[in-house]
Amino acid sequence: MATLLEKPEPPGDYDCCESACEPCVWDFYYEELAAWQKQQQELKAAADGMKDDDGDG
C-alpha cells in the first residue's frame, strides 16, 4: 500500500528569497500539492467504487 501523503503547507514569507531561484521553494510546494491532490482523487474514486460494489450506493 502506498504511503498516505500529508497536505503540504505553503512556504512562509521568509522561505522565498524572491530571487527567481530554479527551483524555487514554491516549485517544490506546487509539485507536492499536485501529488497530494492526485492521491486524494484516487482515494475518492476508490471509495466511490467500494460504495457501488457493496450495493449501498
Tell me what pLDDT residue 56 has. 58
Q: What is the pLDDT along the chain (57 residues), one digit of tens a residue?
A: 579 999 999 999 999 999 999 999 999 999 999 999 999 999 999 989 888 766 555
Domain ranges of the chain: 21-57
> Residue-wise over 22-43: b if at least 16 C-beta within 10 A, else e?
eebeeeebeeeeeeeeeeeeee
51 neighbors 57 (Cβ within 8 angstroms): yes
Give residues with Cβ within 8 angstroms of 48, minimum separation 6.
Answer: 57
